[in-house]
Structure 1
Amino acid sequence: MVSYVSVLLYGVGGIVVAGMALLVAFQEKLVYVPVLPGLTKSYPITPARLRLMYEDVWLRSSDGVRLHAWFIKLFPECRGPTILFFQENAGNIAHRLEMVRIMIQRLQCNVFMLSYRGYGASDGYPSQHGITMDAQAALDHLSQRIDIDTSRIVVFGRSLGGAVGAVLTKNNPDKVAALILENTFTSILDMAGVLLPFLKWFIGGSGSKGPRILNCLVRSPWSTIDIIGEITQPILFLSGLQDEMVPPFHMQMLYAKAAARNRQCIFVEFPTGMHMDTWLAGGDNYWKTIQLFFEQNVPEQTEIQSSHNDNDSEEAR
């Protein structure tokens, strides 16, 4: 009987160890999904299909990886805010074009859409270190352009893109005016236990009660919860309460951590918003929320200059 139990335990243990080894070995394929099932890696459409004015932009990340992006403008001389958009995990930037089309119209802004390495037409293979460099290359490109107002660059990240955007915003307080996070997770470490419940005993974020013995093996932890409190720029949190992938309490935790040190944080919930469609489910309120955030935190330079002039006139009197 004892030998039978021992064999059973060894067998179960072996299966668990083998399963974890596979998860560790193929974790990048679980974290990053550049190609949707049944589709190709290429773009199904371009902004031209939606009659959007755009520019193909080719960049080099600091490690030499060639990256592709679309810079979509409301009109040639638009000096409105420029949104540096970081997408969700699955698929490529072409799958976000309909949302971006409405974004440009409703917010009167420009949008820069970056294909992470390994996504769309960009070369390379995705990793946290690599994508962080890609995001920096995109921001550096925007900061050097003379056809936009570089003081009004706003980072907008959804889900995985929120983790990317948070790192970039923290690292560039002088280049990023504000940050918008939508349906973003606290960390991949915490998401491991959400997607694969048995892993929560071995992998977890700073709030986990498990032993977290496998944390050191996770190559892309994307621990947004550990850096959100260091961001000094204004932050808008957009949370879909019906999010079926990232539990909404992740966004609440991020907000609480940020707001403890940053008074320029705003948290807005959308009761029917799911992971990918909060922008659609939120309707008019969604866009008005962002528009108000822009008016309060990234106003037009003409307004600022006018205010200074008025103050100068009053002092002269």
Structure 2
Amino acid sequence: MNTSSKKMAAGMAGFASVLWLGLTAAVAANQRRLVFNPTVIPEVNSPRSSGHRTRPIVLRAKDGTRLCGWLMTPRTPGPRPAVLYFGGRSEEVSWVVRDAGNLFPNMTVLALNYRGYGNSHGIPDETLLVEDGCTLFDWLAALGQVDARRIAVVGRSLGSGVAVQVAKERAAHSVVLITPYDSILAIAKKKFRAMPIEYMLRHRFESIKHAPSLKVPTYVLRAESDDIVPHSHTDQLCEKLANLILDDIVPGSDHMNIPYLEATQARIAGFLTQRFSQPLAAPQLIETVA
């Protein structure tokens, strides 16, 4: 190789290094947008549930951040089972209010937007979202007319990672995971193969690490066609879930439309209704030695 060729090769290598460093820095700096990409525009204006009493609600996180969303209560009185819903990336949750009559019949439903989504204040962060989720669970459990022993946690896509961690930390009755994944880290490592993503990514949502500790009945719904969360990533999670009851693929669904489909909503409603109707296990008595 002559001198001119060597200089050209060295120049190209230098350019490639600068480009790689630039891309790495860009991913590191913009990871919050890449992982969360908050949406503030409501999906449904003035949402109402046909099967519930609906009211907008504002709750405070532990650090005082305002979290905004909706509480839906059944029209018939009495202690009712309840659902805590966690949305996906870029998902504003007002659509849940509109569809709650089909998704969660005769159940109290709490659906709040994450920090930075909808009218909620703050900046999304994995640790804070899980902390907020636990706070919301506790608030719902203490609410009058809610059977605190029958609270299900439902999470879609990104929210499946929140749901798994909240259900691990709180006494959830059951769990529904829509297009869940093993971890955001695993997905990102495949997408950004040439980058040291494991050293850059803060918001990892490693559900696979928490899955063995999730002892409550769990229902997984997959999209028939999913280019966001490939089935291989869901397979990895399902292998580790301690109490996987059902693992369904919804026909005609993709990652974006799956929660809106009648087939999906009927399956979720059926699973939760059936689980909630089962008698609770009697509390174990602790023997004492006189």
Distance 1:279 1:119, change over 3 A: closer
1:137-216 to structure 2, matched below 5 A, reads 137-172=135-170, 175-193=171-189, 197=191, 199-202=192-195, 213-216=196-199
Amino acid at match of 1:200: R
TM-score by length of 2: 0.86
Question: Cα–Cα, structure 1 residues 95 and 287, in superposed 2: closer, same or farther, change >3 Å?
Answer: closer
Matched, 1:290 2:268: yes
**Partner letter of residue 71 of structure 1?**
L
Question: Would you tell me which structure has more helix in proportion to its own residues?
Answer: 1
Which range is displaced more, 45-54 or 122-131? Answer: 45-54
Q: Counting strand residues as a fraction of each chain, which structure ranks higher?
A: 2
Q: Offset at 1:111?
A: 1.4
Q: Secondary structure, in 3 states, of the residue corresponding to 2:193? A: helix
Comparing 47-56 with 273-282, which one deviates more in the overlay?
47-56
Trace 1:223-302 onto structure 2 (pairs within 5 A).
Answer: 223-258=206-241, 262-281=242-261, 283=263, 286-299=264-277
Per the TM alignment, residue 282 of structure 1 is displaced from its structure 2 partner at its CA by 5.8
Q: CA deviation at 1:42?
A: 5.1
CA distance in 2, matches of 1:222, 1:91: 17
1:30 is displaced (CA, Å) by 1.1
CA distance in 2, matches of 1:183, 1:201: 26
Give the length in aligned residue pairs. 278
SS class of match (1:240): strand
- The alpha-carbon distance between structure 1 residues 139 and 304, as it changes in their structure 2 partners (threshold 3 A), is closer
Structure 2 counterpart of 1:313:
none
Distance 1:62 1:275, change over 3 A: same
Q: Percent sequence identity over matched residues?
A: 22
SS at match of 2:235: helix
Residue of structure 2 aligned with 1:221, choices 194, 204, 214: 204
Q: Once the two structures are superposed, what CA deviation does each residue of 1:200-259 show, in whole Å capped at 9, x if it has no partner?
A: 243xxxxxxxxxx3312211011111111111111111111212321122222211111x
Q: Is the 1:273–1:282 contact (alpha carbons within 8 Å) kept by the matching residues of 2?
A: no
Tell me the C-alpha RMSD between the 2 structures. Answer: 2.4
Q: 1:279 to 1:49 in 2, by over 3 A?
A: closer
Shift of 1:118: 0.7
Q: Provide the C-alpha distance between the structure 1 equivalents of 2:234 and 2:78, rounded to a whole number of angstroms.
A: 33
Secondary structure in 1 matching 2:254: coil
* Cα distance between partner residues in 2 of 1:116 and 1:190: 23
**SS of the residue 1:179 aligns to:** strand
Q: Using the alignment, how far apart are the partners of 1:232 and 1:29 within structure 2? A: 33
Paired residues of 2:102 and 2:269 also in contact (CA < 8 A): no
- For the residues of structure 1 that align with 2:187 and 2:250, how far apart are their CA atoms? 21
Gaps of 5+ in 1: 203-212, 309-317
Give the distance between the partners of 2:280 and 2:68, measured in 1 at CA: 35
User: CA offset at residue 51 of structure 1?
Assistant: 8.1
